[in-house]
Chains A and B, each alone.
Chain A
């Protein structure tokens, strides 16, 4: 029986899965798919450039934070772009 049979979109699927997985690391605090039930703001449907800007401001310390600076520094700029794009595409 064939194992790992390739679909034409496999490379793409791999990327998409890894981005979805990274975004899911945010969900415990920002809600499943970015829809928050708490006081921490949701990220679903937020403009991509806004999320990227906020993450960069956390990273550099320009925006003060309790925890986001420490978390944002765990992600590369490219990863932040991908995560932000993923959340901006989710419905609010």
Chain B
């Protein structure tokens, strides 16, 4: 039986007494208390879907995902370093079934926020009471004419979404001659995973040091300084990777010549043997076409108590696609935390219960310096009622003192647990 939303609301609002009871009584044997559709099964979306069902099994949750399996971006730099394979960071979606999450392998192409309906590439459509949009980022090639063609994009990879691109970039590194140059370009912040490009430089340097000792890593950073964990990364580049890694700040890319692997900068050009350009990013396409983008044509502003869009009612946005609050990185860990705040808020809204006014979030980003030694950055964030945003708690959070093996084991434990927290 299909109940559309209007019919659903009609039934629910037959009387205030009915509505009130719906929030207080068990729903066993009754129609679902509400319907939630989640678009995107990454760190944000999968966590939201699971936690809504975990905390409110009477709410119907459909999760729409275009890929067959989850492939983690965090840890994927280890594939470039050679100590892990892409299989090591691939997890199936099967575990979500035991929570009663309905998984649909499909692509959301449009949202009608008035009819509260999601249209899918297959032609099907889904009705919702609350929609969660967790699309991650799309890379923006439009500023780089030399990367307009698919052919150019296959020569100059970004590998900023884990999967085929990661594997292809590793192949390029493997076939590169010893004595060659790997150059990586980092876009201006904000971008997905602030420490990620610097960790990547370390991973490639680690590979070169053992397999191709005459080769170099060149970091072309559009930012004026290292964006994340500066001291810890500099210690690696001036320590174990001295003579291998060269760091160049203020190196914004103007264009690329993919046929010669040339990075054209404001002052001069750089030729590489492997050129890895991480383009600027914005919220994934479904956020754009749904009109959720509110800042710089790139990011989606949200109410941090509910993760609901500040623009489109009934639609919640999570993860990297959001306009980040102060000192809040676009990370997988943070996306998981967005999802839990959102799950609790959606349940409260559907059940007409009060929404938690003071949500908290924790962030941690582990970065691998080599195959064993790891550094972290951590922060704790709480909702500030006067600023109406999440703010980092002063005195909490911080960095590792130095790279160490113990945190190497904790970082792998982190991956195991967060993947199970979202998918298991």
Interface residues of chain A, those whose CB is within 8 Å of chain B, are 1-10, 13-14, 17-18, 20-22, 24-32, 36-40, 66-67, 70-71, 73-75
A32 to B, closest residue via Cβ: B421
Q: Which of B51, B354, B414 has the most CB of A within 10 A?
A: B354
How far is A88 from B215 in the complex, measured between Cα atoms in Å?
A: 53
Known: A21-B344, A74-B379. 9 other contacts (CB 8 A): A10-B354, A14-B354, A26-B362, A28-B337, A39-B410, A39-B413, A66-B406, A66-B407, A73-B380
B415 to A, closest residue via Cβ: A38
Task: Known contacts A5-B23, A21-B360, A29-B413; decide if A75 and B418 are in contact (CB<8 Å).
Answer: no
Q: Which of A5, A20, A30 has the most CB of B within 10 A?
A: A5
Docked-complex contact A38 and B417, CB < 8 angstroms = yes
For A22, list chain B residues within 8 Å (CB). Answer: 360
For A36, list chain B residues within 8 Å (CB). Answer: 413, 417
Asked if B356 is an interface residue, CB under 8 A from chain A, the answer is: yes
Report A26 CB to chain B, min CB distance, Å.
8
For B352, list chain A residues within 8 Å (CB). Answer: 2-5
For A40, list chain B residues within 8 Å (CB). Answer: 410, 413-414, 417
Report A74 CB to chain B, min CB distance, Å.
3
How far is A7 from B358 in the complex, measured between Cα atoms in Å?
A: 20
A3 to B, closest residue via Cβ: B352
Task: Known contacts A21-B356, A25-B360, A70-B396; decide if A1 and B348 are in contact (CB<8 Å).
Answer: no
Give 8 closest A-B pairs by Cβ, nearest first. A74-B380, A38-B413, A74-B396, A2-B16, A5-B20, A1-B13, A38-B416, A70-B398
- Chain B interface SS verdict (over half): helix
- Chain A interface SS verdict (over half): loop
For A70, list chain B residues within 8 Å (CB). Answer: 378, 396-398
Q: Which of B19, B379, B396 has the most CB of A within 10 A?
A: B396
How far is A38 from B421 in the complex, measured between Cα atoms in Å?
A: 12
For B410, list chain A residues within 8 Å (CB). Answer: 29, 39-40, 66-67
For A7, list chain B residues within 8 Å (CB). Answer: 20, 23-24, 353
A79 to B, closest residue via Cβ: B360
B340 to A, closest residue via Cβ: A24
Docked-complex contact A28 and B354, CB < 8 angstroms = no
Report B74 CB to chain A, min CB distance, Å.
11
Report B27 CB to chain A, min CB distance, Å.
14
- Report B353-398 residues with CB < 8 Å from chain A CB: 353-354, 356-362, 364, 376, 378-380, 382, 393, 395-398
Docked-complex contact A18 and B417, CB < 8 angstroms = no
Asked if B148 is an interface residue, CB under 8 A from chain A, the answer is: no
Docked-complex contact B395 and A27, CB < 8 angstroms = no
Task: Known contacts A14-B354, A21-B344; decide if A38 and B412 are in contact (CB<8 Å).
Answer: yes
Asked if B333 is an interface residue, CB under 8 A from chain A, the answer is: yes
Task: Known contacts A67-B364, A70-B397; decide if A13 and B353 are in contact (CB<8 Å).
Answer: yes
A74 contact from B51, B348, B376, B393, Cβ within 8 A: B393
How far is A70 from B354 in the complex, measured between Cα atoms in Å?
A: 31
Q: Which of A10, A22, A27 has the most CB of B within 10 A?
A: A27
B24 to A, closest residue via Cβ: A7
Report B129 CB to chain A, min CB distance, Å.
13
Docked-complex contact B376 and A21, CB < 8 angstroms = no
Docked-complex contact A37 and B380, CB < 8 angstroms = no
How far is A13 from B23 in the complex, measured between Cα atoms in Å?
A: 11
Report A20 CB to chain B, min CB distance, Å.
7
A13 contact from B13, B354, B360, B412, Cβ within 8 A: B354
Docked-complex contact B378 and A71, CB < 8 angstroms = yes
B337 contact from A2, A25, A38, A73, Cβ within 8 A: A25
How far is A58 from B287 in the complex, measured between Cα atoms in Å?
A: 41
How far is A38 from B12 in the complex, measured between Cα atoms in Å?
A: 44
B334 to A, closest residue via Cβ: A28
Task: Known contacts A31-B420, A74-B362; decide if A14 and B353 are in contact (CB<8 Å).
Answer: yes
